[in-house]
Structures are given as structure tokens and as C-alpha cells.
Structure 1
Amino acid sequence: MNKKKILLCISGGIAVYKAADLTSKLVQSGFEVKVIMTASAVKFVTPLTFQALSRNEVHIDTFAENDPSVIAHIDLAGWADLVLVVPATANMIGKLANGIADDMISTTLLATTAPVWIAPAMNVHMYNHPSVKKNIETLLEYGVRMIEPGSGYLACGYVGKGRLESPAVILEKVEEFFAPKQAVLQNQTVLVTAGPTKEKLDPVRYFTNRSSGKMGYALAEQAALLGANVILISGTDRLPIPQDVTWIHVESAEDMYKEVMKHSVGADIIIKSAAVADYRPKQMFDSKIKKSADRIMIEMEKTTDILYELGKRKKDQFLVGFAAETNHVEEYAREKLTRKNADMIVANNVTLEGAGFEGNTNIVTIYHKDGSAKELPIMSKADIAKEILMEIASQMGEWQT
């Protein structure tokens, strides 16, 4: 790994012993590792253990400035190529999410510009507490990546989710992160739709839905990283535009239909993840509708079904649709796959915690034309996006052979 630098931040929990194993595995795999421990972490495993395994000084006290030429936590923050918080306790997650800097780890985490990954480990009820879940959501919004904890027997005696992921799996993810990027979509043009549409009623009102566009933006960003030429047609302008992506903003379902049809001809892969309105007001009023009667009747008309139209016209293109459902997910997804002549449907149950609109995580199942399906656990939308794109690349590879 050309001596990539890993800063391992260890907070206090019984899973600290696994961090020792992880340190050993990282060093043996060719990484340079430096360790910071909290005062609680040293109660479980001594700093000497990590010093012996990492062959570097272990940092604990923010005010222990052993090298007068640098400020330790700033120096470590700038040194790292990747920062791992393993295990990440509820306390440390809360500090990082809320900008608290009161020890060596938290001050360093605020000062670093390197990618930060957290690997939570705690009691199942702590992990499911609303404040912990909110803090994790905040960190995902900040761009922090989470290594999901596993389920099973916990040290406290409970059985459930909260067990630190195994050091072998964490090492695998780190090696994958630093491996040369696979340009599996090189020379492919990928068209992605994202976000909601707005269907105007009058100059101040419109109908829309709860889609944030985050899934579509993640797909566009990951496709670009995989070497594709990406066109993103978006119903929202509230998200950062991914790098190396052609961005087109639309408002209504009709606007999106026109732009998709215009750009679909040159696309190799079309991913329609936008939540396009199925109906729009039949009449758009030129002036604001004033409040008068106790009730108002608004006649609606169908919008053009973009995925259906794409399915009718496609030739050698790979067409992907999304299905956000509240029940009978598999039934509706498979029916949609056939009726709209798609090659893949990505479906989720939006009533599940972690899988709904507006969040930074998702839980999906990928349905293929051959009847097979791949279930993905709760993951960040960036990780879900990469999984979807790798599935597409795999399917297209089978086409070509």
C-alpha cells in the first residue's frame, strides 16, 4: 500500500481488544499506523500493547507535547491518509457529531481533512437510542463513513446489533479504499435522474414529494469515480453537484421527461432514481388561489411515465428503475421490472428505519430480469450506489460475453 498512513483512534469499550488485532493486521499489510487512545480505552488495553504492535508512539494526553517542533494533534491530523475510529463509542460519536473537542482524539478529528471512518461498538439499546442514531446521521451528512456493527452476542449479555465489525473485514475495506480505482464504467455514458419534481398549482403552491435526491446524487458521484461520463438530471438544487458530472436542473415531470428523452439517445446506462410525480394539476392558475370555501377540488391528470417510455425505446441500453414501496415490495418491483421493460429494479420499503426518504442510509434489494435478487443491508447511500453500479457493470459484462 506504499506505506499509506492510518491514524487509529481508539475510544473506551470492551471491543478495544479487537483494535489491537486490527493494528497488527494493518501493519502486516504494509500500512503505517499511529494510535491515539482515550483515557477510558487504556483501562481495557495498555498503550504499550499498541506501541509494540504499531511500532510508533501512542498518544493519549492532548497536552503531552513530546516534540516541541509540532503541535501533536495538528501534526497527527495532517499526517493521516485515513482516520479510523475503532471502536467508536456513543460518547465519541456524540462528540464528533457536535463539534466537541475535549481530549486528544476529538481535537484531532476536528482538525483533520483526511477521510474519517467510524466503527461503532456498544450495547444494542445504546445503538438504537434516538440521540445516537441522530448523531450517526449527522456524521454521514458530514461525509464520515460508517462501518456497520454486526449483530450477535454482546459483552453485556444482550443479543442484538452493536458488535464491532471484525478486524479482518475492516482491513478488507481499508485495502479496497486504497486500491487503484476500478474504471469499470470507462467510456460509458451514464444518465441519472434524481430528486423530486414540482407540479405547480398557482404562483405560490405546488405538489411535490419527500425525495431529497441523495440517492441519485450518490449514484452520479460513484459513476464518475468509476470512470463514466455522467449526466445528472435533477429535480433539486439543494445538494452539492458531484465532481466531473454534467448537471441539468429541472422542475416539473414534463421538464424532466424532455431532458431525459434528449440525453437518453447517447446514454449507455440510464438510472431513473428520481421520484417523478405521477399526477399534476390539470390547470395551473396564473394568480394565487384565495381561501374561500371550506373545501377545494383540484382536478389532476397523469404525467408521462418516463421509465415506461424509456423501456419502449431502448435498444442496447441498460435501464434501471427504482421502486419506493410501503408494502408488497417484491411483488411490485418484479411487476414493474416486466411492465416497464427495465433490466434492473432497485426497490426499498420506505417505512423501514434507515430506508426512507431524506436520510443518508438506505436498505435495498436489487431485482434482475433473470429472476435473481440481491439484498443489501442498511448502508450509506454512497455504498449502496457503488453496489448498484458494480451490479450493472457485472450484468453488462455478461451481455458483452
Structure 2
Amino acid sequence: MIDIKVPTVGESISEVTLLKWVKNDGDYVERDEVIAELESEKATFEVNAEKAGILKRAAQEGDTLNIGDTLASIDDTAAKPEGAAAANGTPAPKKEEAKAAPAVEAKAVSQAPVTTVPNDIKATPVAAAIIADKKVDPKSVTPSGYQGKIVKDDVLAALSNPGKVTGGKALFNRDQRREKMSQLRKTISRRLVESKNTTAMLTTFNEVDMSRVMEIRTKYKDKFKESHGVNLGFMSFFAKAAAIALTEWPAVNAYIDGDQLVYHDYVDISIAVSTPRGLTVPVIRNVESLSMADIEKKVIELAGKARDNKLSMEELQGGTFTITNGGVFGSLMSTPIINLPQSAILGMHKIQERPMAINGQVVIKPMMYLAVSYDHRIIDGRESVSFLVRVKELLENPELLLFGKDPVKTLLEL
């Protein structure tokens, strides 16, 4: 009997939600077969059977589990039911082979841990072990598994045909296919081209040390979840920082309407959400008046509606500023496109440890590049740069997010 634990899924994530069981209690599962789907605050991911056997579930759908908790157990001594096919569709191996294979594969896993495969590469445990052992570049392997996952046969094919595309496709194939563009994709296409053609778009960059934000999340995430029922994510920090900076630089929160400039005394932030159907940008209203917990709850609500295609037109209209997070996909730097009729958009990116010069010493810091694309017709360089510098200051000193000022300086009336 072996236990299947909740795996480590990323930096600062301590708990996940059991989204769905793919296999039923008492089912016979093959090694590497998907048994469940888990959801963290950043992404949905699958859990695979580490060995073949009878599955015994230890949690219910909707349960919140900590990293390392037992998700299920597998009786690997149980005999395979008569007539059951292997997961890959091939005939079941002979008894002697069935006993020997797991031992060999388990040895490979122990010698080459899965953690050697980058977090943004999806691979089954056996495939990951072979990748690590043979030092295969995961990006050279074409996945053919469920939802783009690399399986063992993909890696073996890549080893047999180094440098060539495999993954179930014939070498030297010339296939192509046509798909009708969806209405959403047509709308996205039209609006992006309109944005590029009708605005004097320019992008300014900066970088932010995320140490303090990450420390706060690590220190208070459990209490925050207990008090508010939601995880403390990065979006609330960025939305709060943007709201304060936008009130100080109102042109960044304004837009052009004909020959008039429309300024807003409130901050409605559009959050870019990527869904299987395409990009949507639901709006969080009056962010300047919301608490951190209120923002996190709204982000979860809108992201859930976006994934389920249940957003109303009201929830998709009226934003005054947009935040997009390419970092969840691994983007290190980008130039986001303005979301019309708005005049600016803030791009978040991947947090990456980099050597920084601090007081003459080289120190490793978790850094994130920030980008603000803005319409130069209404926003001058001074305003855009000052806005981004203010966002950087607020994120590197999160205590300023309380009311936008240094507490000591406020006490001393400086």
C-alpha cells in the first residue's frame, strides 16, 4: 500500500483544493494514470497514480488540503481485474513483467527526482524521471498526453529522433488544419488592432523587489485564510498599489472621448483573465474603497465566472485601468496592449531571483519586471514614469498601502 501525497506546486503555495476525482473509489488504476485534479491559487493541475493498483480515496471533492497531505492510497499488491486494458491501450503485461517494471521505474524516480523538470513543464512522473536521467530538454519533447502532458512514450520518441518533432505526429508531415474563428476571438482581434492603430502607445518599464510582499504573504496567509476564507494573493497588493497611484496621477486613470478628457474620481480595475475561449477582462469596481480581502474575493469570483463563461456584460464594461499578469505563464517581460477606451495598462511578470547591488553588496532578491503601456496623447512621460515608480514604492513598502503615506512621517506631520 502506498500513499499519494499532495505535491509541492509552487512558491508560497501551502494549500490546494481538490477540484475533481477522475477515478472512483475502488477503481483499478494504471501507473501514471490521472486520478484527480487539484487547484491552487494560480493554476489547476493533475495528480497521477505512482503505481498500478486499487485506488482508495482519502479526501472529498471541494476539500482544502495542505501540501504533503495524503490524497489517496493505492494497494499495489492487488491483482489487475481480468480483461482490463493498460492505460496506454496496449495489452496488459505478463505477471512477471508487471512485478518487475514498477521496481525499475520506482528506482528511476528515486535517482532522478521530478523536481529537476521545470515547473512550467507538465510531465508524468516516469516521463520526468527519464528526462532527468537522460538530460533531455523538455522543450524538445512534443507532448501527447491529456491536456498537453508529456508521457513516457513522448520522451522515448524524442530520444529515438533527437532534434525532431514527435509526439504522435509522423516525421516530415505537412498537415495543416483550419478552424472557424470564434466570435470572442474576432472581438479580441478587432479591439487589439483598433488599440494599436488609434492610440499613441508607448511602454515604460521598471522592476520591483517582491521580498516584503512575499514575506507578508508567508507570515499572514494562514490567518488571512482563516479570517476571510480566501487566499492572500499578489493581485490584491498590485490592485491596491495601482489604486493609490492612480488617484495621485489621475491622467493614467482617464481616457479621451472625442475632444474631451474624461477623468474618474474612482478606480475600476479590469483584470485580464485567460480562459480556454480567449482573453476576458472583467472589472472590479471601486478598488480604492475595497479591502485586501474584498479584492481577493472579487478576483476569485470574476475569474471563476470567466472560466465558466458566466460573466455578464455589466461585469465586462466600464473599467478605468487594466492589470494583466503574464507571469503566471512564465513571461519575464512584455509590452501589454491598452484595453480601449482606457489609456493605460499595467503588466505584471514572473518573479525571478536575480543578483542585485544593495549598498555595494551583491544580494539575491526576488525581482519582477513591471511594464506600463500608455496612450501618449493623454499621458506624458513624467506621469507614466512617476506612476510606475509610485507602484514600485508601494509594493516594496507594503505598509504604505494602508493609506498611501509613511506612518512615521504622518505621525511627525512631515
TM-score with structure 2 length normalisation? 0.24
TM-score with structure 1 length normalisation? 0.24
Higher relative contact order (CA 8 A, sep 6+): 2
